[in-house]
Amino acid sequence: MLNTIRSFIDTIFQPPLTFLDLAIENIRNLSLVTARGINLSNYMSVFGDMPREWQLALQSLLMSVVLVGTLLLFRLAIRTYFAVKEGVKWW
């Protein structure tokens, strides 16, 4: 009887456990990729025919766009936090 119950419970929880094991394996593989870093010159090789000054200007422009985007996302997160905080305060 105990084995029947145990096998039934294992049958129920097997798909979520398999999914979580797969997620853990993918996260470990992802950490190996990010530990090496990203070589941006592979992506910037499209602009390799441009003079060096233009390439540097383009890289600076792209980095500033990433910085501004990050700051906008941070501002959005802070505004959302304060809105939730204000909503909970008056709830």
Identify the band that residue 68 occupies on the pLDDT scale cut at 50, 70 and 90.
very high
pTM: 0.49
Averaged pLDDT for residues 51-72: 91
> Residue 55, exposed/middle/buried by CB under 10 A (0-12, 13-18, 19+)?
middle
Is residue 18 within 8 Å of 7, Cβ to Cβ? no
Averaging pLDDT over each range in 45-49, 53-57, 71-75, 87-91, which range is the top one? 71-75
